[in-house]
Structure 1
Amino acid sequence: MLDIDLELPGPRSKARVLVAMSGGVDSSVAAALVNAAGYETIGVTLQLYDHGAAIHRSGACCAGQDIHDAKRVAQALGIAHYVLDYESRFREAVIEPFAASYLSGETPVPCVACNQSVKFSDLLDTARQLGAAAMVTGHYVRTRSVGGRRALFRPVDADRDQSYFLYATTAEQLDFLRFPLGDFTKPEVRALAAEIGLSVAEKSDSQDICFVPQGRYSDVIEKLKPNAADEGDIVDLDGRVLGRHRGIMHYTVGQRRGLGISAAEPLFVVRLDAAAKRVIVGPREALATRRFRLRDLNWLGDGDPSAWTEGQEVYARVRSTRPPVKASVSVQAGEASVVLDDSEMGVAPGQACVFYDRDASDARVLGGGVIAQETTNEQACAA
């Protein structure tokens, strides 16, 4: 077993560490590494939503079989393990805002909200109440001390990079958090799990958002907000009506299939106008975006971003599956205006935009925010 150092003061045997265990291979290996390093290890699993309907689902987390798997791993490691019912808090902080955001025409990223409000706020407070010196998760990111505080960096495994989902973590939270998997690749983590003999060594990774069965967001929203969907028009960029829709929550920016309209050329959802109950469609090139605004900024870099009045060069990432690209960011009155060097396709309000200091495997996360309004090349030319 590899030895890890969480860089905590005092003897390891006297340092209590809480490990968030989802029941998957990543958090299980993280717990095993912490325990093998000699820290007093406590595993905690959160029940985040009604797991009755999800107990037989594969590719989910935080419910049913996953809780059982986390218990088995903790027992095999010989560490204490607790299951905490965070269902009501998860609904309040993640699911309800997710539904409201979708109904307003946005494309939210609930994993960011979950990390920000439940895992790295509520659970972190629980860790402190239990006398823990640190909280560990199985995320693929890295932190290290910079100027007396811990800074957030991309991991060794670029294919597993989860820094996009953690940009909203505060500096104070980063000082308490540790991410031991940031120095490993996913194959190495699975090999460690097999070497240790963990029952989850070959368990498949989570694919869907945990509370969205089969990835159908509209099903969840209809359950939470019955009769909330209003019908409206599907229009082209010139405002011509091409058809009708049964609620904008059934559409996302960049969507091509399932529009229910016929046209001479492929059409994509370009914008969602919730106020007018309209779905605006256009050719693929209309999805190209260079300029947009951000709200709810979170800053993890050095200095004060409010000084960026004339534009600061960064690398910006508008989706978790896309690499960072060169951009200029200007900050005024708490909001950021972002101009990308090259257009990105399908940027949508509600998504996150994350800043890095460079495009490299060890790039530092400078912060980010929520995309509030996008300006496509098509719109810019028409303005």
Structure 2
Amino acid sequence: MSTSNLRVNDKRVVLGLSGGVDSAVAALLLMRAGADVHALHMTNWEDLDGYCTAAADLQDARAICAKLDIPLHHVNFSAEYRDQVFEYFLDEYRRGRTPNPDVLCNREIKFGVYRDYARRLGGELLATGHYARVAVANGDTQLLKGRDRNKDQSYFLHAVSQDALAESVFPLGDMTKSEVRYLARDAGLDVHDKKDSTGICFIGERPFREFLANWLPAQPGPITTVDGEQIGEHAGLMYYTPGQRQG
């Protein structure tokens, strides 16, 4: 793959390195494009019950940086994440709405406090492994979909400011997932076959109701028709989303 479109030669680029294959290949492409790459790994959740993969991800990030010979910085933004994302997440459920914490996390954390920290490291640009693209037209920075429509993540970045996007690089924007895994395997990166992360870190691989019940008390009530006929009981409105296929 050509890296000429990245325009990062001789620039210090701070890369958000999660420990997964996407950000690992992003680091590889930035290096090949001539960037001075510094990896920044973020912990945003204090794992107390073993469901979050934070410890394993940090270990993978260290292995990636050792393989590519780039410096790794580790920051803990758990307090900021809790205040700016998780409390909003809970509040939305209290109100009977279904939030998307990833959108807020990108705006407030990854392209907020995380970006500020990257500047302290001397970063001229911030890079991530998102499948998205940016373009400049008439002085405005535009967020575009990634080439891989099955992996496109532009929606999750739609709330990020133009100022932040103007200083961001998405090396995977013109790639497909299969191409990313091929590059990782060809470069000898152990994470080339690492499973994609799904869902929200602090929930992990467990039933959603089980997690939510630890933070919000259930408020069961009647299920009624538009005519007022009671036809059942619900466990609490926070457990339901309009259009969901199962409860």
Range of TM-score over shorter length: over 0.9
Q: Distance in 2 between matches of 1:186 and 1:229?
A: 40
Q: Distance in 2 between matches of 1:45 and 1:171?
A: 24
Match of 1:209 in 2: 200
Summarize the alignment of residues 1-383 of structure 1 with structure 2, pairs less than 5 Å apart.
Answer: 2-8=2-8, 12-13=9-10, 15-54=11-50, 63-214=54-205, 216-225=207-216, 228-258=217-247
Q: Distance in 2 between matches of 1:114 and 1:253?
A: 23
CA distance 1:217–1:100, shift in 2 (3 Å): farther
Q: Distance in 1 between matches of 2:245 and 2:36?
A: 52
CA distance 1:3–1:94, shift in 2 (3 Å): same
3-state SS of paired residue (1:205): coil
What is the letter of the counterpart of residue 212 of structure 1? Answer: I
Pick which of 28-37 and 17-26 moved more: 28-37
Q: Distance in 2 between matches of 1:23 and 1:4?
A: 25
Structure showing the higher strand proportion among its residues: 1
3-state SS of paired residue (2:31): helix
Q: Deviations over 1:283-329 (max 9, x none)?
A: xxxxxxxxxxxxxxxxxxxxxxxxxxxxxxxxxxxxxxxxxxxxxxx
CA contact (8 A) 1:154 1:163 kept: yes
- Higher RCO (CA 8 Å, separation ≥ 6 residues): 2
Unaligned runs of 5+ in 1: 259-383
3-state SS of paired residue (1:96): helix
Structure showing the higher helix proportion among its residues: 2
CA distance 1:4–1:91, shift in 2 (3 Å): farther
Q: Distance in 2 between matches of 1:29 and 1:71?
A: 14
User: What's the % identity of the aligned pairs?
Assistant: 38
CA distance 1:2–1:96, shift in 2 (3 Å): same
CA shift, 1:246, in A, is: 2.5
CA contact (8 A) 2:47 2:202 kept: no
CA contact (8 A) 1:218 1:249 kept: no
Aligned residues: 247
CA shift, 1:128, in A, is: 1.4
What is the letter of the counterpart of residue 72 of structure 2? Answer: H
Q: Distance in 2 between matches of 1:66 and 1:191?
A: 21
